[in-house]
């Protein structure tokens, strides 16, 4: 029996997920996620960790999840539905706490899985409910919904993600609204390289090309808008940061007072699937 043990850092828990997903190659039978020291989790952390747990449960016989020791963090994960519908072969170190739930639809979107067109529709309504209290009914709130809708559409159309798209959002009084979409599918570079004309592109070149309007892996008329739409929606916002990670490529679009700047970096570890996070500042 081979066991893989993953130690999750107190913050930025998403950072260890790419390496762990790469280790899920069928060789280990038990997977342990040690998240006891987790002290803060963003929507991206929650989505990435939950996608990892679900993928590990598919590949390994048993999965152990060491829940955060700090009660507030454990409660927060429960409030964000992190422990909801956890696969049967996942053992939690502690039971999920019983919560007295209040309606927080204006402040958060609990971790949810998007696997169908109807899921996207429900999600759009949730994003609208979170965005409106922040930004009213104007272009900022609409851009928020457009980014998440286009991102999840892409997952349904292209990603072939074994865990669907994991989505979550949280509104913070000081830093603004954070939204995340994570899938563990094919990823942008491999999807685009399935067409002969793009076969020679590196990951970073492929993602850069995929961000152009009309560049598509299917070659069908009318396709190839998704990622360009995400960028243009983000650019409609006044003050936001959009990060797209896929394979060995990371693109950051930073918008401030109507001016957008794009940066690209080549991360050391390949991001499985496509991860998109959007922060809209107040």
115 binds another protein (CB under 8 A): no
Sheet of 259-265, strand order = 108-114, 165-172, 176-183, 271-280, 239-247, 250-256, 259-265
Tell me which residue of 73, 132, 122 sits closest to 280, measured CA to CA.
132
Cα–Cα distance between 146 and 276 in angstroms, integer?
A: 13
Which one among 58, 104, 107, 142 touches another protein, defined by CB under 8 A?
A: 142
For another protein, the binding residues in 225-254 under the rule CB under 8 A are 225-226, 229
* Residue 120 beta carbon to another protein: minimum distance, rounded to whole angstroms: 5
CA atoms within 13 A on the CB side of 33: 31
Which one among 10, 12, 94, 124 touches another protein, defined by CB under 8 A?
A: 124
152 binds another protein (CB under 8 A): yes
Which one among 52, 149, 159, 253 touches another protein, defined by CB under 8 A?
A: 149
Tell me which residue of 237, 231, 159, 167 sits closest to 194, measured CA to CA.
159
* Residue 155 beta carbon to another protein: minimum distance, rounded to whole angstroms: 11
Cα–Cα distance between 18 and 5 in angstroms, integer?
A: 14
Using the rule CB under 8 A, give the single segment among 51-59, 67-75, 195-203, 217-225 that binds another protein: 217-225
Binding site for another protein (CB under 8 A): 116-117, 120-121, 124-125, 128, 137, 139, 142, 145-146, 149-150, 152-153, 156-157, 213-214, 221-223, 225-226, 229
């Amino acid at each position: 029996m081979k066991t893989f043990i993953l130690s999750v850092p107190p913050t930025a828990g998403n950072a260890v997920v790419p390496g762990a997903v790469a280790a899920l190659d069928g060789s280990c039978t038990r997977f342990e996620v040690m998240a006891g020291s987790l002290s803060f989790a963003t929507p991206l952390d929650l989505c990435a960790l939950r996608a990892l747990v679900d993928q590990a449960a598919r590949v390994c016989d048993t999965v152990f999840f060491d829940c955060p020791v700090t009660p507030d963090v454990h409660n927060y994960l429960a409030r964000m539905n992190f422990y909801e519908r956890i696969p049967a072969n996942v053992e939690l170190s502690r039971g999920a706490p019983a919560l007295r739930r209040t309606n927080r639809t204006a402040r958060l979107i609990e971790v949810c899985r998007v696997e169908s067109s109807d899921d996207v529709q429900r999600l759009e309504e949730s994003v609208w409910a979170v965005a409106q209290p922040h930004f009213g009914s104007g272009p900022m709130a609409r851009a928020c919904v457009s980014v998440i809708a286009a991102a999840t559409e892409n997952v349904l159309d292209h990603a072939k993600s074994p865990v669907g798209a994991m989505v979550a959002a949280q509104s913070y009084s000081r830093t603004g609204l954070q939204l995340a979409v994570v899938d563990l599918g094919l990823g942008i570079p491999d999807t685009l390289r399935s067409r002969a004309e793009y076969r020679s592109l590196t990951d970073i070149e492929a993602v850069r090309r995929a961000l152009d309007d009309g560049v598509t892996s299917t070659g069908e008329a009318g396709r190839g808008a998704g990622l360009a739409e995400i960028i243009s929606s983000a650019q409609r916002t006044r003050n936001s940061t959009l990060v797209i990670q896929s394979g060995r490529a990371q693109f950051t679009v930073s918008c401030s007072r109507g001016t957008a700047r794009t940066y690209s970096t080549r991360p050391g570890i390949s991001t499985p699937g496509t991860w998109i996070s959007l922060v809209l500042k107040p």
